[in-house]
Amino acid sequence: MAQPTLGHLDPLFIEYAEETNQLLREVFQTQNVATFPVSGTGSAGMETMLSNFLEPREELIVGVCGVFGERIVDAATRLGVSVTRVDAAPGDAVDVASIIDSITPSTAAVALVHGETSVGIAQPLEGIAEAIHDHGGLFMVDCVTSLGGHPLAVDEAGIDVAFSGTQKCLNVPPGLSPFTFSERASERLERRRHAVPSWCFDLQAVRRYWGSGTRLYHHTPPINLIYALNAGLSTVHAEGLTNCWDRHGRAQAALLAGLEGLGIEPFGAAEHRLFPLTAVVPPDEVDEAAVRRELLEVSGIEVSGGLGGLAGRLWRIGTMGTGASLDSVCRVLTALVQALRSQGMDVDAGAMDRAVERWEEEAW
Ligand SMILES: *Cc1c(COP(=O)(O)O)cnc(C)c1O
């Protein structure tokens, strides 16, 4: 990122941008021509998706199992979209059959969060694309936390629009939203009756720069962040995408084994665990916020608390990108043993051995 900033029409930068888009197709597992980074964080990707592929009064079904599903509901409602929400039971993924049952001939789209970071839940996607496509609607997915960290294949899942973020599993600073949309979504965009309400995120205009040989200026892309994205995606490419997913799964298994040794219980449905984000229930006998404060102040490790209604009731430990390693898992466990002891809890330091054993078992 400290390299000189090239112009957005410099042939060298264009070559670089095209390579980045190709690497994005690989990590999204898509052939979509329309694949590029939107300028802005993950939420900008969400706004781009909702403002381009939906119009006021159109019907959107949103599956909600945490804060980011709520964010889709909020953002779509502000755009005048008519939202029907399908809520999950607490700590569970949204029931796929309930989503399919709520689809009607007038449903314009279904939106789901693949990796719900607020609760550590991975949403099953199977069967939804067929159901919504039967009515001519679109399948939209937030894969901010799952991209690169949890198995996902955009084309195979029949996803029409997907957005992500750079700072979760891709090892890149925040500020870009990797974005992709299908031919079906592109046709929907062409058929819009109203102009896209956002000037900045109007894909018809944005893609004249990103998606064509003409490279028409719309806004200046964050050039140096794209260098970083190219570098981050290159590390995923070098490791191999499935190896990358497996490493995230392995780190979570090791972390959970270690936490179990400390008597700390995981939160949420075991069959829907999101590899890069492990949510656990803080033990009753400690002040959960004090433990997190000590982890940060003494060990420089930031563990997040619960959001919204789960404030004070969760610890959320991220093992994302290079953080999905045995080294990171052991560091967080060591720091946690220390912090729990300073809260007067009697814990057994054997947690590390269990984590290491589990890491070894998961090797293949
Ligand atoms: C982080 C996150 C977002 C928002 O991304 P920002 O980069 O913070 O704007 C959206 N959805 C999910 C699932 C996330 O984890």
Q: Is the pLDDT of residue 364 over 70?
A: no
CA of 172 from ligand 1 middle (Å) equals: 14
Query: What is residue 363's predicted lDDT score, i.e. its pLDDT?
Result: 77
Which residue in 66, 130, 137 sits closest to 108, CA to CA? 137
Query: What is residue 212's predicted lDDT score, i.e. its pLDDT?
Result: 67
CA of 253 from ligand 1 middle (Å) equals: 24
Q: How far is CA 101 from CA 61, 104, 122, 132, 271, in A?
A: 11, 8, 21, 10, 22
**Cβ-Cβ contacts under 8 Å for 97 (sequence gap 6 or more):** none
Atom of ligand 1 nearest to the CA of 113: 13
By the 8 A CB rule, do 111 and 79 touch?
Answer: no
Query: What is residue 277's predicted lDDT score, i.e. its pLDDT?
Result: 98
304 in contact with ligand 1, CB cutoff 6 A: no
Q: Is the pLDDT of residue 86 over 90?
A: yes
Query: What is residue 316's predicted lDDT score, i.e. its pLDDT?
Result: 98
Instruction: Tell which wins on pLDDT, 347 or 236.
Output: 236
Which residue in 30, 122, 139 sits closest to 68, CA to CA? 122
d(Cα 341, Cα 348) in Å, to the nearest integer? 10
Q: How far is CA 88 from CA 31, 96, 121, 303, in A?
A: 32, 10, 11, 25
Q: What is the mean pLDDT of the chain?
A: 96
Q: Where are the alpha helices (DSSP H) in the chain?
A: 11-28, 42-53, 67-78, 96-102, 128-133, 183-190, 203-210, 223-239, 241-261, 288-299, 326-342, 351-361
Query: What is residue 68's predicted lDDT score, i.e. its pLDDT?
Result: 97
68 in contact with ligand 1, CB cutoff 6 A: yes
Most ligand 1 atoms within 8 A of CB, residue of 49, 68, 164, 179 to mutate = 68
Instruction: Tell which wins on pLDDT, 147 or 346.
Output: 147
CA of 154 from ligand 1 middle (Å) equals: 18
> Is the alpha carbon torsion for 244, 250, 252, 254 positive or negative?
negative
CA of 43 from ligand 1 middle (Å) equals: 6
Question: What is the chain's length?
Answer: 364
43 in contact with ligand 1, CB cutoff 6 A: yes
- pLDDT tens digits along 306-363: 998 899 999 999 999 999 999 999 999 999 999 999 999 999 878 889 999 999 998 7
The CA-based angle 220-223-224, given to 5 degrees, is 145
Query: What is residue 211's predicted lDDT score, i.e. its pLDDT?
Result: 78
Atom of ligand 1 nearest to the CA of 114: 13
- pLDDT tens digits along 171-224: 999 999 999 999 999 999 999 999 999 999 999 999 989 876 778 899 999 999
| Beta-bridge mates of residue 36 | 179
**Enclosing H/E stretch for 138:** strand 138-142
pTM of the complete model? 0.97
Question: How many CA atoms, within 13 angstroms, populate the side-chain half-sphere of residue 13?
Answer: 18
> Token pair 């109007």 is at which residue?
202
41 in contact with ligand 1, CB cutoff 6 A: yes
Q: Is the pLDDT of residue 107 over 80?
A: yes
Structure tokens at 101: 């049952």
Phi, psi of 64 (to 5 degrees): -125, 120
CA of 184 from ligand 1 middle (Å) equals: 25
